[in-house]
Structure 1
């Protein structure tokens, strides 16, 4: 009896331990599956910190959901960016000083900040749109010179940054603005599965200075090969 009682107790403890272990394993396994299937967004670049590069690659990964695009907010300006196999990537122009990049997809969210020691730009124009279509940004300066995909650098210092392999936003900048009137236009190529595209243009003047001003234009585009006039802005003489 003396020896049988400990054996019986030991057996009960073993069964209890085994049940507890299996239950714990099931919880951990379920948590792991939930974690793998969870909606997550991660920004792969930039990594934060300090940079002297004016052109920055914005890229990342989306897990657990399969949207066609994500919203990338750069210094308060939202931009629609397409996803390919859960990945997004495009180029943008960093602002002088602090920069904040935020990405949203469903309920998932990530952000990164970095400091850019880069020259300021008097003009920045960003074109973004909401369908898988090619849409080209045109900016015509007061001299009549047009900056667009086939002429990305102008005599007056205008530059266009774009990626023709994706439907990502396009950005025009000019370091020292000519005084006068600027026209913003877009040439639209209809998407594969829709005939309606909503475009937005953000104009930022004298970014990062006490003179900074922001304007926004939006337009609905419906006709392929059409050039749409999106808006104008004026640069006053110094």
Structure 2
């Protein structure tokens, strides 16, 4: 469904990542974990995960990583800024995606994000905490360095507030005082879990990361392929 949105704000977070708040002219009925298409042209529609939960009142939050080598994302951020400055609406199409959180499941959740794939995980986590789910939730977030984990402090605080939430940050290059894990996020998960057979697993990152997780966890950790969710699976 095509919807025009008011761009409420474009805020720089860290490491070329931007938080964008949109207010749709009509509420978007979506599920936590779905994505929208930013309409740049009739045949140019670019997907971005919705970072906000459906429980938020008619506000859509996006986290867009727009490094200099990524014009695909930078052009969208620039278009959003232009719409904000001009006070003109920005068109999106939503909702899309099948990797939304299965609210009828009581399995423990494993949420895995690479880089700004965290926006997908953020929506699901927000939704689960707002619903007061009681099963364990594990969040593993990987990035090149600490700067990429732009919500690190927020997630630490949430984990301190919710006994059923465990947050594990993972970076490839760590400073001397780093308190998380170092290396690859999938390796961190493999190191920490003997079996994943009982888990619902939600994944967002590069396609190759999602594909590797599906193969690795099903072959080595007993994960059920039909309980692993990633929109990347529709394309690989």
- Band of TM-score, shorter chain: 0.3 to 0.5
- Given the two structures, how large is their TM-score scaled by the length of structure 2? 0.35
Which structure has the highest helix share of the two? 2
Which structure has the highest strand share of the two? 1
